[in-house]
Amino acid sequence: MNEENKQQQQQPSFDEWAILEVMGKTRLGGRVREQHVFGVAMIRIDVPDGKGGFKVTRFFHPQALFGVTLVGEKEATAVAMYNDAPPVTRWEMTQKQLPGASEDDGDYLDGDFDDRD
């Protein structure tokens, strides 16, 4: 093992409450750690649910981060509750946009949205 690898292993891993700014657009509050995933050092954030647990864990490449602000658990949880955007949202396509669809087909892919105005 070379000297550089020894120094990296001796350094404590990052493990702090923080607010992450990702690509300058998304703000997430939570417990932030460095974790190796797929052979790459990634930034892991466990986003609190406000009830003592975590609602989601997300990973980001360090180059995707715009900023990191170290805060306490209370502040990170407040940011997590305020910026409660789900990591994945449902994309809606009207039935008419599908190839081969006719004018008689319903407005949406399934009946979940029939009651919309």
pLDDT in tens, 74-111: 999 999 998 865 555 556 656 665 666 565 555 444 44
Task: Report the 3 state secondary structure along the chain.
Answer: CCHHHHHHHHCCCCEEEEEEEECCCEEEEEEEEEEEECCEEEEEEEEECCCCCEEEEEEECHHHEEEEEECCHHHHHHHHHHCCCCCCCCCCCEHHHCCCCCCCCCCECCHHHCCCC
Which CATH code is given to the segment(s) 3-86? 2.30.30
* pTM across the whole model: 0.63
Q: Where are the domains of the chain?
A: 3-86, 90-117
pLDDT in tens, 12-24: 588 999 999 998 7
